[in-house]
Structure 1
Amino acid sequence: MSHDFVDEAEFFSKSQRKREMHALQEIGQQMLALNSQQQAQLPISDDMRAALIEARRIHSNEAQRRHLQYIGKLMRAEDVEQIQRTLQAFDPTSRLHQQHFHQLEQWRDRLLTDTEQAFEQWLALHPQTDRQTLRQLIRNAHKEADQGKPPASARKLFRYLRELSPLTSSPP
């Protein structure tokens, strides 16, 4: 009586496969919860992007459940770790998001105090920046500070930096 033994390292129980599939579906749900601008930043394939767009169109609960299973199936071909890092960066409670937020605050403060050197460094790291807009926001923030007004322009500057900065910008 001969038995072909399966290498235990390659053996996955049906329960294990189901847990993995549910985990991929959970990631899919997290991606669906993002707004379209955040979804555009996800490192995913065109097929996955199309599936996420299609999911927004579906209203039937059963159809949504089946489509989520399809998204889970597509997730097998994706770089799940990279997607999870990106999702974590969108989560305001995550360490990565908070670190990015603090880096942007440091950039804003440097741009307001050490203007020219910080300005050139920012442009070197973010060439898509509109120089004129950035200078105007800095100038308005200085004017408000000199007049003792609330820092509305400093907040606008921060929002502008956040729009321009990828999730993993280098620290100042």
Structure 2
Amino acid sequence: MTNEEDFEQLDPADQDEEWVSKSQVKREMNALQDLGKKLVALNKDQLAKVPLDETLREAIDECRRLKKGEAIRRQLQYIGRLMRLADSDAISQTLDSFEAGKQAHDAHFHRLERWRDRLINGTPSDLTDYVAAFPGADVQHLRQLVRNAQKEAQQQKPPASARKLFKYLRELAEEPG
């Protein structure tokens, strides 16, 4: 009997199964282990929002408790094995939503930093532009903060007034309106 005849004698359902290489299996296991690392890095509030079974949650808590590198590596491998049984798609989607929220927060923070820098280093028209964008701003207070920050920058002092200006800009941006 040849190999071709052996193949034909197999059950047709077995022939339809997709063959996966050992390398592909390892890549998938490493991806699950990396997902487990991300779970371990989350804070408690974020982790509470992730759909996990109790065994996986306990394994993550145990990994957080460990201090030695080798023990952490073994625990992460265990978490990777538990991830095979978990709904990794739902977990990934939850982690992606956390990342999207963080990116939006960072972008908002950077916009405020750019406004602060424009107000300190720019022209008086930048102040007018800011007041037009945020009509709830106290113009007199804003001018004072900008003047103090500019004076500190000229004297090469620590940027305490620039921090106060940024804090004020952040408060204005967070006001409902």
Q: CA deviation at 1:88?
A: 0.8
Residue 135 of structure 1 corresponds to which residue in structure 2?
none
Measure, in 1, the Cα distance between the counterparts of 2:83 and 2:72: 16
Out of 33, 43, 64, which is 2:51 matched to?
Answer: 43
Measure, in 1, the Cα distance between the counterparts of 2:32 and 2:93: 14
Closer, same or farther: CA 19–8 of 1 in aligned 2, 3 Å: farther
Q: Which blocks of at least 5 consecutive residues in structure 2 are unaligned?
A: 109-135, 142-167
SS of 2:15's partner is coil
Measure, in 2, the Cα distance between the counterparts of 1:156 and 1:146: 10
Q: CA deviation at 1:17?
A: 1.0
Q: CA deviation at 1:30?
A: 0.9
Give the structure with the higher percent helix.
2
Partner amino acid, structure 1, of 2:21: S
Closer, same or farther: CA 9–156 of 1 in aligned 2, 3 Å: farther
Q: Which structure would you say has the larger RCO, counting Cα contacts within 8 Å and 6 or more residues apart? A: 1
Q: CA deviation at 1:97?
A: 6.0
Matches within 5 A, 1:129-148: 145=136
Out of 94, 115, 138, which is 1:86 matched to?
Answer: 94
Q: Does 1:19 align with 2:27?
A: yes
Measure, in 2, the Cα distance between the counterparts of 1:96 and 1:81: 20
Q: Quick one: percent identity of the two aligned structures? A: 39
Partner amino acid, structure 1, of 2:97: A
Q: CA deviation at 1:52?
A: 0.7
Residue 54 of structure 1 corresponds to which residue in structure 2?
62
Measure, in 1, the Cα distance between the counterparts of 2:51 and 2:59: 14
SS of 1:3's partner is helix
Report if aligned partners of 1:88, 1:97 keep a CA contact under 8 Å in 2: no
Report if aligned partners of 2:137, 2:172 keep a CA contact under 8 Å in 1: no
Closer, same or farther: CA 63–96 of 1 in aligned 2, 3 Å: closer
Measure, in 2, the Cα distance between the counterparts of 1:25 and 1:77: 13
Residue 65 of structure 1 corresponds to which residue in structure 2?
73
| TM-score, structure 2 normalization | 0.52
Q: Which blocks of at least 5 consecutive residues in structure 1 are unaligned?
A: 103-144, 158-172
Out of 15, 18, 36, which is 1:28 matched to?
Answer: 36
Measure, in 1, the Cα distance between the counterparts of 2:102 and 2:71: 34
Measure, in 1, the Cα distance between the counterparts of 2:78 and 2:174: 42
| TM-score, structure 1 normalization | 0.54
Number of residues of Structure 1 aligned to a counterpart in Structure 2: 112
Residue 3 of structure 1 corresponds to which residue in structure 2?
6
Partner amino acid, structure 2, of 1:65: R
Q: CA RMSD in A?
A: 3.1
Structure ID, larger Rg: 2
Closer, same or farther: CA 67–146 of 1 in aligned 2, 3 Å: closer
